[in-house]
């Protein structure tokens, strides 16, 4: 099955700096890559995702890049703020096409604890 590795496991940055979290995957058939943010004691929240037909996607201060050849994808957070402090998870999946497709078991990385110091 798919194997997703995530680095680093912990990351500390100063407020205003950028943070980068990297993930690699093993199954070249994977075509969907979401990122989740989990605050202490809460369920993970989807913050951004990317599909294999796209190389980069941006949403305000958050961006994700995908390199299918190297089988790795990264989360970039710019202008970090203390409220960005949380655990971030990457995941990979094979999903079907067409609206309403429900296929796609997610394989998660082990998470990165991001701390943003004021």
What is the DSSP pairing of strand 72-77 with strand 62-67? antiparallel
Q: Phi and psi at residue 50, in whole multiples of 5°?
A: -145, 145
d(CA 118, CA 112): 19
Q: Which of 14, 53, 60, 101 binds another protein (CB under 8 A)?
A: 101
Among the residue ranges 18-26, 41-49, 66-74, 76-84, the one whose residues contact another protein (CB under 8 A): 41-49
Residue 41 binds another protein (CB under 8 A): yes
Residue from 14, 53, 69, 102 in contact with another protein (CB under 8 A): 102
Does 47 contact another protein by CB under 8 A? no
* Residue 103 makes contact with another protein by CB under 8 A: yes
Contact 30, 43 (CB under 8 A): no
CA 71 to mean position of chain CA atoms = 13
- The structure tokens 């796609």 sit at 104
Which residues would be at the binding site for another protein (CB under 8 A)?
9, 32, 34, 36, 41-46, 49, 51, 89, 93, 95-97, 99-106, 108-111
């Amino acid at each position: 099955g798919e194997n997703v590795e995530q680095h680093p496991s912990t990351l500390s940055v100063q407020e205003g700096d950028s943070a980068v979290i990297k993930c690699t995957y093993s199954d070249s058939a994977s075509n969907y890559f979401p990122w989740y943010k989990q605050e202490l004691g809460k369920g993970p929240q989807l913050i951004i995702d990317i599909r294999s037909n796209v190389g980069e996607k941006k949403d305000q201060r958050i961006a994700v890049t995908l390199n299918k050849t190297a089988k790795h994808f990264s989360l970039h957070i710019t202008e970090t703020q203390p409220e960005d402090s949380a655990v971030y998870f990457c995941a990979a999946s094979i999903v079907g096409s067409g609206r309403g497709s429900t296929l796609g078991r997610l394989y998660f990385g082990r998470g990165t604890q991001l701390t943003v110091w004021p």
